[in-house]
Chains A and B, each alone.
Chain A
């Protein structure tokens, strides 16, 4: 996980955002606070309300009720020139040339066209795409077009970068490149919010997250705080499966076939170790593992949400 420099007032704040579409309640009282300079992950399965929340935060749509603030402004579009947004459904004009598309997206957010073209040339060059600069978007591969759109999101050097499912559709190499880019932008001082249904990305990148399920925020806070919601797991391998030392294990301990697994008791490891040693348990290995974000997500959002995200439920 990257350690970000978090300073000052929140870059984004939302209080009790509610949004319905026809008869469906898509977002139900979402409240968030994204510290300036942080990388913030919005986690949740498809249909949880992540995109709708982001669209409300950006001012694309208005909430039915609730308030929001973007870079200190209650009308999000007033801050648009300082925001970069990569929507979930990528959109570029197919006939537009790559450099022109980047400059156009910058111009929409107040960057003069000439400067946008200059920056676009540099950005494309840095990513080895300079030979495609004057080619229409329709002739680019999907990955290249995604890169062009991402560069268009960043060309005006925004203070706040909002990425909706930025990793979807990218191969492993490009996912790594994108993670590096996000880290670089954060290191340069930008605040980054991204939504994802892949927990690993959030775990690697974010300091703070919000878990959304069924339109509600199930958890919002530091990744560590989410992980701390679960007790550490103890994995114990002994010479024998059973013995008098069993009495030292907590009631929820279960035999997996190879080892014992259970939550670390609230009293800590010492009483456990003492009990095991006193009864000559024949300890081969004993490890105390802090739960990952995946386990925390399952515990917070429920197994169904984890299944919906294609993450499965930990054994």
Chain B
């Protein structure tokens, strides 16, 4: 008589086998070298994305002026913005005349600068760099609004340390960086789960496993094995990356990324938690889909649409950064497969912690649900077939008639 074996213990037995079989194989070395290529591509895409985002997310300038002066300035801005080949001009926001610049800069509606008295003695207050392009754009708008031939006016610039707009823009960069990292790690690593059952099915081990433990436990063991394999890889890559930065990067480079709203330590914790959730969610779905495949070729065929689906989820979460409370933003946070991407973005933008705990619980619930469904699908369509050959899926070829 053997001791009672719980599902977790059984999952551990399977996970342990899968983990050692993967990590102790020679191919794991290639796995560790794999991220070099996606990192290069990811960096390229992130750069393009940030540039596009910077173009779309125009800075906003509060204008303290009469309604008539604001209208003139806004008209000039529109005209200048329509000139092809020029950089996009900042959005203008009318501000009440009696509001101090500090209140506007740290207000709820994020602005990067406040322009006061544009047609008298213009003064621009904000977190502006010494040669900030915004100053030149403001001068052009004033000149255009004054008359077509007017010389560029002199604008007094008062620099302040930080504004809500600058903070938000900085955090948006962190949010996008966090999302991009999470996406590429998930993209890179969760795809492995598509082929997890090929070995068991081709070696007929699946029947030995299914006779000993519930199929859900087999799925759970495989999922956690590959999560652990992935975390092993991430540990190696992050250690190598940090060592490389410490050795090669100029001093202060690590502080270049603006601090997220929840602070770095909690952001790092959430990054790990959301990666695990993203991996488990995607992995559970991929495990279920891949388990239906009868051969490595079918897995390869399935991997492309699966990758595209991941890109679509990332795009959804990325679009939500600009407007987290829009219908798209809420949908991205609620839809389980895009939720981790969306929520890591929110962690960079907003300091609230409770939504993350709720999101993690929500995502965990979906991991369990997807695993359950995937296992039930597997039992019904693959195991419930004579001789273990499995029912033909719609994408599979019909067997030859004999």
Contact = CB atoms under 8 A, between A and B. Distances in A.
B1 A89 contact: no
Interface in A145-186: 152, 156-157, 159
Contacts of A58: 211
B181 to A, nearest CB: 33
B205 A91 contact: yes
A91 B206 contact: yes
Interface in A1-42: 19, 21-22, 24, 26
A261 to B, nearest CB: 40
B208 A108 contact: yes
Contacts of B387: 51, 88-89
A77 interface: yes
Contact of B2 (A22, A47, A111): A111
Nearest to A59: B211
Interface in B175-208: 199-200, 203-208
B1 A112 contact: no
B365 interface: no
A66 interface: no
B209 A87 contact: no
Contact of A108 (B204, B213, B391): B213
B208 to A, nearest CB: 5
Contacts of B361: none
Contacts of A81: 1-5
Interface in A53-107: 55, 58-62, 77, 80-83, 85, 87-96, 104-107
A89 B211 contact: no
Nearest to B14: A108
B385 interface: yes
Contact of A92 (B21, B203, B210, B213): B203
A115 B342 CA distance: 47
Contacts of B204: 87, 89-91
Contacts of A231: none
B79 to A, nearest CB: 70
Contacts of B2: 81-82, 106, 109-111, 156-157
A174 B206 CA distance: 26
B208 A82 contact: no
A52 interface: yes
Contact of B386 (A51, A90, A106, A152): A51
B206 to A, nearest CB: 7
B207 A87 contact: yes
B234 interface: no
Interface string B240-265: 00000000000000000000000000
What band does the interface of chain B fall in when counting residues whose beta carbon is under 8 Å from A? 20 to 34
B13 A112 contact: no
B211 A52 contact: no
Contacts of B10: 108
B3 A85 contact: no
B214 interface: yes
Contact of B208 (A51, A55, A105): A105
A220 to B, nearest CB: 22
Contacts of B203: 91-94
Contacts of A22: 391
Given A92-B205, A93-B17, A93-B199, A108 B212 contact: yes
B3 A91 contact: no
Interface centre among B199, B204, B212, B387 (most CB of A within 10 A): B212
A93 B203 CA distance: 7
Contacts of A87: 204, 207-208, 211, 388
A95 B209 CA distance: 17
B213 A77 contact: yes
B356 interface: no
Contact of A91 (B21, B207, B391): B207
Contacts of A77: 213-214
B1 A82 contact: yes
Contacts of A159: 1
A190 B2 CA distance: 14
Given A93-B21, A108-B10, A108-B13, A60 B1 contact: no
Nearest to B379: A61
A60 to B, nearest CB: 5
11 contacts: A21-B384, A22-B391, A24-B386, A51-B386, A60-B383, A81-B5, A82-B1, A93-B205, A95-B21, A105-B212, A113-B13
Interface of A: 19, 21-22, 24, 26, 47, 51-52, 55, 58-62, 77, 80-83, 85, 87-96, 104-113, 152, 156-157, 159
Given A104-B17, A108-B14, 10 more contacts: A26-B386, A47-B386, A77-B213, A80-B212, A87-B207, A94-B203, A96-B17, A108-B208, A108-B209, A110-B2
Interface of B: 1-5, 9-10, 13-14, 17, 21, 25, 199-200, 203-214, 379, 383-388, 391
